[in-house]
Amino acid sequence: MLRLPCPARPGSFAALMSLYESNYIRLGWLLPAPCRIEGPLLSAPADDLPLHMTLVEQSRYTTTVRLTYYFDECGERVADPDLLVRIYHDALLAEAMACTRRHRHEALRLFDTRPGAELSRRWARNVMLNKWLEYCVDKGHRFFPVTENITIS
Protein backbone atom coordinates (compact mmCIF):
# COMPACT_ATOMS: atom_id res chain seq x y z
CA MET A 1 0.00 0.00 0.00
CA LEU A 2 1.31 3.43 -0.99
CA ARG A 3 1.08 6.08 1.74
CA LEU A 4 1.05 9.69 0.74
CA PRO A 5 2.71 12.19 3.06
CA CYS A 6 0.35 14.04 5.38
CA PRO A 7 0.07 17.73 4.64
CA ALA A 8 1.38 19.98 7.38
CA ARG A 9 -1.34 21.18 9.68
CA PRO A 10 -1.88 24.96 9.74
CA GLY A 11 0.06 26.64 12.53
CA SER A 12 2.70 23.91 12.69
CA PHE A 13 6.41 24.54 12.14
CA ALA A 14 6.31 22.62 8.82
CA ALA A 15 3.38 24.72 7.61
CA LEU A 16 5.21 27.88 8.68
CA MET A 17 8.17 26.92 6.49
CA SER A 18 5.76 26.38 3.57
CA LEU A 19 4.29 29.80 4.26
CA TYR A 20 7.79 31.35 4.17
CA GLU A 21 8.31 29.67 0.80
CA SER A 22 5.02 31.08 -0.47
CA ASN A 23 6.02 34.53 0.80
CA TYR A 24 9.27 34.30 -1.17
CA ILE A 25 7.40 33.40 -4.36
CA ARG A 26 4.90 36.25 -3.90
CA LEU A 27 7.70 38.70 -3.09
CA GLY A 28 9.35 37.60 -6.34
CA TRP A 29 6.21 38.74 -8.20
CA LEU A 30 6.88 42.25 -6.87
CA LEU A 31 10.66 42.24 -6.85
CA PRO A 32 12.46 40.39 -9.64
CA ALA A 33 15.92 40.41 -7.99
CA PRO A 34 15.55 40.27 -4.18
CA CYS A 35 19.29 39.82 -3.64
CA ARG A 36 20.14 43.05 -5.51
CA ILE A 37 18.29 45.77 -3.65
CA GLU A 38 20.16 49.07 -3.63
CA GLY A 39 18.41 51.55 -1.41
CA PRO A 40 14.77 52.56 -1.13
CA LEU A 41 12.31 51.36 -3.76
CA LEU A 42 8.88 52.72 -4.58
CA SER A 43 5.95 51.17 -6.41
CA ALA A 44 3.13 53.57 -7.26
CA PRO A 45 0.35 52.09 -9.42
CA ALA A 46 -2.55 54.34 -10.36
CA ASP A 47 -5.20 52.72 -8.12
CA ASP A 48 -3.34 52.12 -4.83
CA LEU A 49 -1.15 53.91 -2.33
CA PRO A 50 2.58 54.01 -3.03
CA LEU A 51 4.30 50.94 -1.58
CA HIS A 52 7.69 51.62 -0.01
CA MET A 53 10.53 49.12 0.37
CA THR A 54 13.59 50.18 2.32
CA LEU A 55 16.79 48.17 2.56
CA VAL A 56 17.62 47.55 6.24
CA GLU A 57 20.46 45.05 5.96
CA GLN A 58 22.06 42.96 3.25
CA SER A 59 24.52 40.08 3.50
CA ARG A 60 25.59 37.23 1.28
CA TYR A 61 22.69 34.96 2.22
CA THR A 62 20.00 37.33 3.50
CA THR A 63 18.42 40.68 2.79
CA THR A 64 16.21 42.47 5.31
CA VAL A 65 13.73 45.09 4.09
CA ARG A 66 10.98 47.22 5.56
CA LEU A 67 7.75 47.10 3.54
CA THR A 68 5.05 49.69 4.19
CA TYR A 69 2.50 52.21 3.09
CA TYR A 70 2.73 55.73 4.56
CA PHE A 71 -0.29 57.70 5.76
CA ASP A 72 -0.52 61.31 6.87
CA GLU A 73 -2.21 61.32 10.26
CA CYS A 74 -2.56 64.67 12.01
CA GLY A 75 0.54 65.99 10.24
CA GLU A 76 2.59 62.93 11.17
CA ARG A 77 3.84 60.29 8.72
CA VAL A 78 2.59 56.89 9.89
CA ALA A 79 3.79 53.58 8.40
CA ASP A 80 1.02 50.97 8.24
CA PRO A 81 1.27 48.06 7.84
CA ASP A 82 4.94 48.25 8.66
CA LEU A 83 6.64 44.88 8.24
CA LEU A 84 10.28 43.95 8.63
CA VAL A 85 10.87 41.12 6.13
CA ARG A 86 13.96 38.92 5.96
CA ILE A 87 14.66 37.23 2.61
CA TYR A 88 16.77 34.05 2.76
CA HIS A 89 18.40 33.79 -0.68
CA ASP A 90 19.90 30.32 -0.27
CA ALA A 91 16.74 28.73 1.16
CA LEU A 92 14.33 30.74 -1.07
CA LEU A 93 12.24 31.85 1.93
CA ALA A 94 10.84 35.20 3.13
CA GLU A 95 9.80 35.78 6.73
CA ALA A 96 7.87 38.66 8.28
CA MET A 97 10.09 39.13 11.31
CA ALA A 98 8.37 42.05 13.00
CA CYS A 99 5.34 44.24 12.69
CA THR A 100 4.93 47.70 14.16
CA ARG A 101 2.81 48.11 17.28
CA ARG A 102 1.17 51.31 16.05
CA HIS A 103 -1.40 50.44 13.41
CA ARG A 104 -4.13 52.64 12.01
CA HIS A 105 -6.47 49.65 11.63
CA GLU A 106 -7.66 47.57 14.57
CA ALA A 107 -7.30 44.24 12.70
CA LEU A 108 -3.58 44.84 12.15
CA ARG A 109 -2.96 45.33 15.88
CA LEU A 110 -3.28 41.55 16.30
CA PHE A 111 0.04 41.03 14.52
CA ASP A 112 2.23 42.24 17.35
CA THR A 113 5.74 41.25 18.35
CA ARG A 114 5.36 40.86 22.13
CA PRO A 115 7.02 37.86 23.84
CA GLY A 116 5.11 34.58 24.07
CA ALA A 117 3.48 32.01 21.77
CA GLU A 118 6.23 32.52 19.18
CA LEU A 119 4.99 29.99 16.63
CA SER A 120 1.44 31.38 16.54
CA ARG A 121 2.69 34.98 16.32
CA ARG A 122 5.02 34.10 13.44
CA TRP A 123 2.17 32.26 11.76
CA ALA A 124 -0.17 35.28 12.06
CA ARG A 125 2.45 37.81 10.83
CA ASN A 126 3.39 35.67 7.86
CA VAL A 127 -0.18 34.90 6.80
CA MET A 128 -0.74 38.66 6.87
CA LEU A 129 2.40 39.22 4.73
CA ASN A 130 1.32 36.50 2.31
CA LYS A 131 -2.13 38.01 1.79
CA TRP A 132 -0.75 41.55 1.59
CA LEU A 133 1.80 40.57 -1.08
CA GLU A 134 -0.99 38.96 -3.12
CA TYR A 135 -3.11 42.11 -2.72
CA CYS A 136 -0.19 44.32 -3.81
CA VAL A 137 0.37 42.24 -6.94
CA ASP A 138 -3.37 42.39 -7.73
CA LYS A 139 -3.20 46.19 -7.40
CA GLY A 140 -0.35 46.34 -9.92
CA HIS A 141 2.61 46.94 -7.64
CA ARG A 142 6.07 46.06 -9.02
CA PHE A 143 9.54 47.07 -7.91
CA PHE A 144 11.94 47.32 -10.82
CA PRO A 145 15.72 47.24 -10.52
CA VAL A 146 17.37 50.63 -10.56
CA THR A 147 18.97 51.30 -13.95
CA GLU A 148 21.11 54.14 -15.19
CA ASN A 149 19.27 57.04 -16.77
CA ILE A 150 19.42 56.69 -20.51
CA THR A 151 19.08 59.80 -22.64
CA ILE A 152 17.46 59.18 -26.01
CA SER A 153 18.40 61.72 -28.68
**What pTM was computed for the model?**
0.78
For the chain, how many structural domains are there in total? Answer: 1
Angle at 80 (CA atoms; ends 142, 118), nearest 5 degrees? 100
Is residue 47, in this structure, part of any structural domain at all?
Answer: yes
Is residue 21, in this structure, part of any structural domain at all?
Answer: no
| Residue with the larger pLDDT of the pair 152 and 3 | 3
Residue 47 lies in domain:
35-138
For residue 142, CA distances in Å to 42, 48, 50, 62, 134 come to 8, 12, 11, 21, 12
| Residue with the larger pLDDT of the pair 143 and 95 | 95
**Starting from the edge strand earliest in sequence, which strands make up the sheet with 51-58, in order?**
41-43, 51-58, 62-73, 76-88, 93-99
- pLDDT over 70 for what percent of the chain? 76
Is residue 153, in this structure, part of any structural domain at all?
Answer: no
- Residue 57, classed as helix, strand or coil, is strand
Is residue 45, in this structure, part of any structural domain at all?
Answer: yes
